[in-house]
Amino acid sequence: MHAVETAGLTKQYGKVFALRNLDFTINENEIMVLLGPNGSGKTTLLLILATVLKPSSGYAKVMSLDVTAQPTRVRRILGISFQEARGFWRHKPADILRFHANVCGVPKAERDTLIESLLKDLELWDARNKLFMHLSGGQAKRLEVAKVFVQRPKFAIIDEPTSQVDLRGKRKIWAQILKLRKEGSTILVATNEVREAEYLADRVTVLDEGRKVVCDTVRQLKDSITGGDIVELEVEVTEPQILEKALTELEGTVKVTNRGGNRFKAYVSMAESWVPKMTDVCYQNKARISSIRITEPSLDDVFLHFTGRALREDS
Partner 1 sequence: MSNIVRLVWFDLKPDLKPPVWIIMEWVVFLVQVGVYGAIITQLVNNPLVGDYRQFFAVGLLIMITFDMGSHTGRHFVEHAHEGRLPYLLSLPISRTQLFLTIALQGGAELALMLAVPLTITLLIIGNLTLVSVAACVLTLFWLGFGVAGLMLALSFIAFKSSDLYTAIVTGLSAIIIRFSTVLYPFIVLPPQYASAAAFSPLTYGSDLVRFILGFDPGILLNPYYAVVVLTALAVSTLGLGAVLVQRLVEGVKSA
Positions in the binding site for partner 1 (CB under 8 A) = 47, 50-54, 71-72, 75-76, 78, 80, 82, 84, 86-91, 95, 99, 102-105
User: Which C-beta is closer to partner 1: that of 53 or that of 230?
Assistant: 53
Neighbouring C-alpha atoms within 13 Å toward the C-beta of 118: 29
User: Which C-beta is closer to partner 1: that of 54 or that of 171?
Assistant: 54
User: Which C-beta is closer to partner 1: that of 2 or that of 91?
Assistant: 91
Coil/strand/helix, residue 129: coil
DSSP line for 208-264: ETTEEEEEE-HHHHHHTSTT-EEEEEEEE-S-HHHHHHHHHHSTTEEEEEE-STTEE
Q: How far is the CB of 78 from partner 1 (least distance, A)?
A: 8
Contacts of 23 (CB under 8 A, 6+ apart): 6, 7, 8, 9, 212
Q: How far is the CB of 146 from partner 1 (least distance, A)?
A: 14
CA distance 308 to 68: 35
Q: How far is the CB of 156 from partner 1 (least distance, A)?
A: 12
User: Which C-beta is closer to partner 1: that of 99 or that of 283?
Assistant: 99
Q: How far is the CB of 24 from partner 1 (least distance, A)?
A: 20
User: Which C-beta is closer to partner 1: that of 64 or that of 279?
Assistant: 64
Residue 134 DSSP class: G
CA distance 185 to 300: 28
Contacts of 183 (CB under 8 A, 6+ apart): 152
Q: How far is the CB of 130 from partner 1 (least distance, A)?
A: 14
